[in-house]
Structure 1
């Protein structure tokens, strides 16, 4: 009898859930989404959702999750292991109960060193999602070692040159696992579209207004959450959160955004010129991806100030250089078969593990 598949979804940012849903929809086996969804509808059949109690730090007031517990005596193989946390006990108990009840073929872990190692203790094979960046610290390497395979949600062309050979050998390079823009007959009209992802802090209105004033000959359209109040230049248009991001990219002559997986997938899929502003992330995730894009001639990259956002006087030169890009190198990174190809790799791994017994 074929077992089902579990998919652990980290709750920081929207990209983890988005790619889990898209790949799960291409699997022939039932796939249970496992994670802390904070009351959100994960957009998946209810009988295939395992909602977990929260494991974020208690009493900090900050709804975010840094993944660091500050415990000096934490084992070296773990990133986050607070003591006396009832939510953490309850979530591991639910994962163990689900594994015992359903006898799954494997668990995809996107992402958590602790869940990956806990699954190994449960004798449950894992495919661990390996994000970009310099992840050569002991916890990551032990999770990679314990996994039956690794999935990189980026093309091999964006691989960090320092990644160990044995890690590369275990890796399926899935590519950019996101929806692709449908072909559009709409011509580019010179506008600049700013994509603000959900994984970081909202962008202050003052920053956007300064950018628009610095390049007044272009219309600026901002998709995502903006904070603060103040005067808005006539060429700056704030749309807030929108569901049709890909449609709104069609008329853009230039896209400005960070180097998160969702943003990169959207821009590459739409074959747009890209001004990349990598944000600070653990393990240099965005910075190292941005370096690879620059090497490929796929983006103009700017790393400025503490958060990557350019100073007002830097915008004219950055926009001019980015508009001169050939969008082809970035478009080549968007594989239209990435999602079905990844689903097929997961199915093959499940079958192989079951045959092994």
Structure 2
């Protein structure tokens, strides 16, 4: 080990943060400590530090809605015991372990806390127009910015100094190699971030394509009664395996889903979800511009699905595959270690 330990703050809204952290930490055994809510039980050559939950009533929108919140913060609800304990635990870990660096994926508050604790940061910059004062302060205070997406997903209005400070590394996840043979299942993949699509929407799509087998993975209820060609599996531990074996994948533009689809080179129907700072819509626009996916603004009518699926199957799969860097995790880990050891 060339330098001190590296802390990696893992946000708990959405699955992509955990996938990135595990993939990067696996490239530098013994160097990282993953810090966050829900990291207990993650396996790999790293330590974990569990934090209390900071959500209000189990919900998280990215901002606390307080009128008196400083512009440099997004989420700092007053009187919340989880927020107090998280801050105490992180600061105590920094004081005890004296990390060479903190990777922050993502929280402007944790980035500011690390800086107040005299610890340099690398900030994971997600897609979308994140040019508000809080984000810009976090970007400005970081040694470097790591973007877990292809440069084509960048928005046109990105400030020049932010782009110059950014290193792009797609493929930050535990994605298996593309399968030589795949099935003919239409796989609808939902992440933990939530979706506008309902079980009824999917059931109607399945009924409109009786020659197709539909399967749903993720947190969605089974319709009653369900079409005989529809299987609702619920949450699965290895969604990337199911995505890699699907005939067509239908899903949002979250990092986990997009990363697995691109790694496997699967035909993709992308229906971006509403997320803060239009993150998914920025990535969906890039896929649309590259001809890499059938991009729809909303779930289509049942009668449109036969045509939509055929359009997806007719795409050149090399285009979606070009959004995946097979060496992304290795490159990101090497960059982070280099920044930590300077």
TM-score, structure 1 as length reference: 0.90
- Any conservation in 2 of the 1:6–1:31 contact (CA below 8 Å)? yes
Alignment of 1:218 with 2:220, yes or no, is no
Match of 2:173 among 163, 173, 178: 178
Shift of 1:44: 4.8
Shift of 1:97: 1.2
More divergent stretch after superposition (278-287 vs 245-254): 245-254
Alignment of 1:108 with 2:103, yes or no, is yes
Name the counterpart of 1:355.
Answer: none
Name the counterpart of 1:42.
Answer: 42
Match of 1:236 among 230, 234, 238: 230
Distance across 2 between alignment mates of 1:282 and 1:121: 26
- Any conservation in 2 of the 1:203–1:227 contact (CA below 8 Å)? no
Q: Structure 1 stretches of 5 or more lacking a match?
A: 353-357
Name the counterpart of 2:55.
Answer: 56
Distance across 1 between alignment mates of 2:156 and 2:336: 26
Equivalenced residues, count: 341
Distance across 1 between alignment mates of 2:29 and 2:207: 52
Distance across 1 between alignment mates of 2:83 and 2:45: 25
Shift of 1:183: 4.3
Name the counterpart of 2:15.
Answer: 14
Alignment of 1:313 with 2:303, yes or no, is yes
Task: Report the 3-state secondary structure (helix = DSSP H, G, I; strand = E; otherwise coil) of the residue aligned with 1:227.
Answer: coil
Distance across 1 between alignment mates of 2:325 and 2:216: 26
In structure 2, relative to structure 1, the CA distance for the partners of 1:291 and 1:3 (3 Å cut) is same
Task: Report the 3-state secondary structure (helix = DSSP H, G, I; strand = E; otherwise coil) of the residue aligned with 1:255.
Answer: strand
Shift of 1:249: 3.4
Distance across 2 between alignment mates of 1:239 and 1:92: 37
Q: Write out per-residue CA displacement over residues 9-65 of structure 1, whole angstroms, 9 at most, x where no aligned residue.
A: 111112111210111111155211111228x5233568x2222222222xxxx3121
Q: Structure 2 stretches of 5 or more lacking a match?
A: none
- Any conservation in 1 of the 2:244–2:261 contact (CA below 8 Å)? no
Match of 1:200 among 185, 194, 201: 194
